[in-house]
Structure 1
C-alpha cells in the first residue's frame, strides 16, 4: 500500500500530517493577510473621506483647513518633542488602570455573589439595572461636590462606568458553571477555598475577561469628559487646552491619539482573552 506522502506528492521523509498542517498554516496566513489588507483599506477610506470633507469645507472657511489630516500630522513632532503628549498619555493610562482595578475589586465579588445566590440576584437586580442605566457623566456634579476637584472624582466616574459589565459577566459565568463540577467538588469534601480556586475561578475566568474588555471600552469613552473636571493632565485636559489656545490642528492630533490608544487597549484586551480566556474554557 502506498503511503499518504506518495499520494499527496509530499517529499520523502515528510508525512501527510505535516503537509496538512503546512497547508492549514498557509491558509491561516492568507486569511490574516486578507483581514489586514481589508482593515488598512477601511482606514484609508476614512482618512480619504476626512481629507475630502475638510478640503471642501476649507473653500468657504480658511479655519476648516486646521482640522484636516495633514495639519494634524504636522503637529505630532511638536507634541512629541515637548514631551507634553507622553505626559498626558501617562496620566490618562494611570487613571484607566486605577478605575479598572477598583471596578474589578467591587465587580468580581459582587457578580460572584449574584450568580451564586438566586435570592440575592432577585433582590438586587432591579436596583442594579436602574443604576446601570444612569450615565456616569450624570454623576459629575455630585462627584465634584462630594470629592472635590482632581483625581478622586475621575476615579469615581471611571469605576462607576466600568463596574457594570464586570458584574454582569461574572454573574453569567457563575450561573453557567456545570453543576456536575460543583457536585464533584462537594462529594470530594473540597473546602470553600479549594472550590473557589479549582472550580469557580476557572469557570468564570473567560467571562471576567470579557467583562474587562467591555469595561475598557467604556472607560476610554468616559475618560475624556471625566478629565475635564479640574485636573491639569490627561488627554481630556489636553483637548480643552488645545481648544482654549485655538490650536485646532493639535486638537485633531490629540483626537487621533485617543482613537489609536483606544484601539491598542482593546487589542491588548483581546489578546489577553485569547491567551487565557480560551485556555480556561477548554479546561
Structure 2
C-alpha cells in the first residue's frame, strides 16, 4: 500500500508563502538601491563638471560652452545638422570589424598557447613585447602601409583588441579540468568532438571575459584612430567640432561617446551572464 504524503501544516504553508515574496522584495530593493547609488554617482560627476565650468567661466567666458547644459542643448543640432547617427553607425561598424578580426586571430592563437607548452614558450616573449606597445604608436606605420581610410583604423583596433582575447583564451585552456580531457580521450572522441564538447564550453567564459575587456580597449582607441583621414565617425566629429570652434557640440559628442561606451559594456556583461552560466561579470 502506497503511503500518502503528509499535507504540510498551515504554518509551513504560511512560511513558504511569506519567504518567496520577501526574497523577491529584498532582490527588488537591492536592485533599486544599486540604481539609486549609480544615479547618485552620475549626478555627482555632472555636478562637479558644472562647478568646474562655473569657476573657469569667471576668468574665461569661452568656458561656458563646455557646461553640461550647453552640451545637452546642442544634441538636437548634432542629430539634425551634423548627422550624428551616421557617425555613430560608422564608429560601431569599425568596432565590429576590429573585434571580429581580433577574435579570428586571438582565439586560435590563445588556444595554441594554452594547449601546447612549446608554443607558449616560443611566443610568450614576443607577444608580451608587442602587447606593451601602445596601439597608437602604430598610427604612422598603419597610414604608410595601408593608406588613409578605414583600413588603418581596422588594423589599429584589431591590434588593440587582440591581446585581451589571446590572454583570456590561453588562460581558459590552461584551466580546463584535465579529467574532462581524459574522459573524452577514453571515449575515443575525435579532435572535432573534443574541441566542440570539451574545449569550447571550457573556455567560453574566459573568451567572453576577453571580449568585454577588448570592447573597453576598442572604445578608447577608436576616437584617436578615427583621426586618420576618415570622413565619418565620432573621432572625426570631435576634430570637426574643434576646428569649427563649436565647443558645446564637442562636449555633446563626448557625452555621446560616454553613453555609447556604457551601453556597449552593459551588452557585453549581459552576453557574459547569458552564456557563462549566469556568473557575475564584475
Q: TM-score, normalised by structure 1?
A: 0.94
Partner of 1:48: 47
Distance in 1 separating the partners of 2:87 and 2:69: 23
Partner of 1:23: 22
Match of 1:6 among 11, 27, 44: 11
1:202 and 1:280 in contact (8 A); partners too: no
- Residue by residue, what CA displacement relative to the aligned partner does 1:184-237 show, whole Å, maximum 9, x if unpaired? 000000000000000000000000000000000000000000000000000000
Q: CA deviation at 1:69?
A: 0.5
Distance in 2 separating the partners of 1:194 and 1:18: 47
Query: Measured at CA, do residues 174 and 17 of structure 1 come closer, stay the same or move farther in structure 2, by a change above 3 Å?
Result: farther
Partner of 1:13: none
Distance in 2 separating the partners of 1:4 and 1:266: 49
Partner of 1:90: 89
> 1:192 and 2:197 equivalent?
no
> 1:213 and 2:246 equivalent?
no
1:203 and 1:280 in contact (8 A); partners too: no
Unaligned 5+ segments in structure 1 are 11-15
Query: Measured at CA, do residues 112 and 260 of structure 1 come closer, stay the same or move farther in structure 2, by a change above 3 Å?
Result: same
- SS of corresponding position for 1:134: coil
Point out 4+ residue stretches in structure 1 off by more than 3 angstroms: 1-5, 16-19
Partner of 1:145: 144
Distance in 2 separating the partners of 1:5 and 1:259: 54
Distance in 2 separating the partners of 1:4 and 1:148: 79
1:182 and 1:199 in contact (8 A); partners too: yes
Unaligned 5+ segments in structure 2 are 1-5
Q: CA deviation at 1:23?
A: 1.9
Query: Measured at CA, do residues 251 and 195 of structure 1 come closer, stay the same or move farther in structure 2, by a change above 3 Å?
Result: same
RMSD: 1.7
Distance in 2 separating the partners of 1:53 and 1:24: 43
Q: CA deviation at 1:86?
A: 0.3
Distance in 1 separating the partners of 2:109 and 2:184: 23
1:55 and 1:65 in contact (8 A); partners too: yes
Q: CA deviation at 1:21?
A: 2.7
Query: Measured at CA, do residues 58 and 5 of structure 1 come closer, stay the same or move farther in structure 2, by a change above 3 Å?
Result: farther
- Residue by residue, what CA displacement relative to the aligned partner does 1:101-140 show, whole Å, maximum 9, x if unpaired? 0000000000001000011101111100000000000000
Q: CA deviation at 1:239?
A: 0.1
Partner of 1:255: 254
Partner of 1:81: 80
2:273 and 2:279 in contact (8 A); partners too: no
2:238 and 2:250 in contact (8 A); partners too: yes
Give the total of aligned pairs. 275
Q: TM-score, normalised by structure 2?
A: 0.94
- Residue by residue, what CA displacement relative to the aligned partner does 1:65-94 show, whole Å, maximum 9, x if unpaired? 000001101101111123611000000000
Distance in 2 separating the partners of 1:127 and 1:44: 45
Distance in 2 separating the partners of 1:83 and 1:58: 27
Partner of 1:136: 135
- Residue by residue, what CA displacement relative to the aligned partner does 1:28-87 show, whole Å, maximum 9, x if unpaired? 111110000000000001101111111111111110000000110110111112361100
Distance in 2 separating the partners of 1:141 and 1:91: 22
Distance in 2 separating the partners of 1:5 and 1:103: 60
